[in-house]
Amino acid sequence: MKLKIKKEILLDGLNKVSKALSTKNLVPVLAGIKFDLSKEGLMLTASDNDITIQVFIDKTEDMQIEKEGSIIIQGKYILDIVRKLPDEFINIEVIDELKITIYTDNSEFNLNGINKSEYPAINLDLSKNPLILESRAFRSIISQTSFASSNDESRPILTGINFKIVGNTMECNSTDSYRLARRLLTLNTSVEENYNIVIPSKNLLEFIKIMDDGEESIELHIFNNKVLIKYKNILFQSRLISGTYPNTANLLPDEFMMAIKVNVSELYNVIDRASILTSDKEKNIVTFEITGNKLFVRSSSAEIGRVEEKMNIEKDNNEDLKISFVAKYMMEALRSFDDDQVEISFVGEVKPIILKSNKDEGLTQLVLPIRTY
């Protein structure tokens, strides 16, 4: 294998596939990136058996292919070398099957490679009827729901985002049992087969890191135990989480005792300031007291002190209410809305708090209150 390639093109591909490099090193070969060079271009592949990322770099004037071939190169070292070389073009040559030389006009690195036959066989075949989604909408779904997933591996089903696809409707839910994020999306076409799958949130977050701001669609290829996402020159494959996702529909109340409208950024900043006087940012409790057209936001710590702020609100009736919750959960829910104003609905002091926006009717956030007595 021998090629000359523009540094920025190679580095971009390496950065993308490196998201899938194995860090546990249970299978040493998975710490490497597989290079497959053909007359059409360069294929880069990395996998940790949980996700697999493959990037194809088309042959252009920025790539000279002198000899086709395949080799596995230690991911950490090839990434560091390419990143730190100052030259515009980089040469990579395999000598004696497993000896790799990476060189420019002024630098030369020699690495030991791994035979391509040692790399596990990974099936990245596409399905016949993929689901087509706008990339921007898919990115929004992940960013608006993933934060509500659990980090507790003792309940693995809650560490993912649940995708229910029926007809032309996609419903995405994420919950850690203390809050719920739900996003509804109307598809351009109806699916022939209904789906109910759970994709690990951390894997989807890795995927949106390698997306750009373009308008190109993505293809979602769903299989029995995995999902494959095709986006531009990238294939991203993730395992699915087995098991039955809990029914979250019954968590959302139908009737409310009160609803208020508030400015999103103003309320976020008020809660953020109320969280200053705490030693535990993860479990800081904040209390809302709604009296008249005023919202009082309070927080206290026996060791540190107390804080109170007030803000004007719009309210749909004359009811008053006092309710407490974890500040972090409310702040993350508020941050998911791309709108200046949000409506917060209440059922009672110990009932779920619901957040919605007129701008994006498909997004619902739920935060469970905390008993403080």
Residue 282 is predicted with a pLDDT of: 63
Q: CB-based burial of residue 15 (10 Å sphere; 0-12 exposed, 13-18 middle, 19+ buried)? A: middle
pLDDT tens figures, 187-228: 988 898 999 999 999 999 999 999 988 888 999 999 999 999
pLDDT tens figures, 44-88: 999 999 999 999 999 999 999 999 999 999 999 999 999 999 999
Averaged pLDDT of the chain = 94
pLDDT tens figures, 255-276: 999 999 999 999 999 999 998 8
pLDDT of residue 305 exceeding 80: yes
| % of the chain residues with pLDDT over 70 | 98
- The dihedral built from the CA positions of residue 333, 338, 340 and 343, taken in this order, carries a sign that is negative
pTM (2 decimals)? Answer: 0.94
CA dist 24 to 31, 153, 312, Å? 9, 17, 52
pLDDT tens figures, 14-37: 999 999 998 776 788 999 999 999
Helix crossing, 201-209 with 135-145: angle to 10°?
Answer: 140
- Residue 354 neighbours by CB distance under 10 Å: 21
In terms of residues, how long is the chain? 373
pLDDT of residue 280 exceeding 80: no
Element (H, E) at 139: helix 135-145
Q: Work out whether strand 69-74 and strand 32-38 pair parallel, antiparallel, or are unpaired.
A: antiparallel
Strand-by-strand arrangement of the 195-200 sheet: 195-200, 160-166, 169-175, 179-186, 363-367, 353-356, 341-346, 258-263, 314-315
pLDDT of residue 373 exceeding 80: no
What are the backbone dihedrals phi and psi of residue 339, each rounded to the nearest 5 degrees, phi first?
Answer: -155, 155
In the chain the domains, ranked by start, together with CATH numbers, are: 2-118 (3.10.150.10), 131-239 (3.10.150.10), 252-367 (3.10.150.10)
Q: Strand pairing partners for 110?
A: 101
pLDDT tens figures, 132-161: 999 999 999 999 999 999 999 999 999 999
- Tokens standing for residue 335: 């941050």
With b for 16 or more beta-carbon neighbours within 10 A and e for fewer, the 102-137 pattern comes to bbbeeeebebebbebeebeeeeeeeeeebbebebeb
Of residues 181, 140, 134, 124, the one with CA closest to residue 158:
181
- Tokens standing for residue 152: 């507790």
Residue 27 is predicted with a pLDDT of: 84
**pLDDT tier at 279, thresholds 50, 70, 90:** low
> Which residue type, as a one-letter code, is found at position 238?
S
What are the backbone dihedrals phi and psi of residue 118, each rounded to the nearest 5 degrees, phi first?
Answer: -80, -15
- Residue 54 neighbours by CB distance under 10 Å: 24
CA dist 369 to 26, 177, 310, 354, Å? 42, 12, 20, 11
Question: Cα separation of 205 and 150, whole Å?
Answer: 14
- Is residue 341 within 8 Å of 254, Cβ to Cβ? no
- Residue 314 neighbours by CB distance under 10 Å: 11
With b for 16 or more beta-carbon neighbours within 10 A and e for fewer, the 188-207 pattern comes to eeebeeeeebbbbbebbbbb
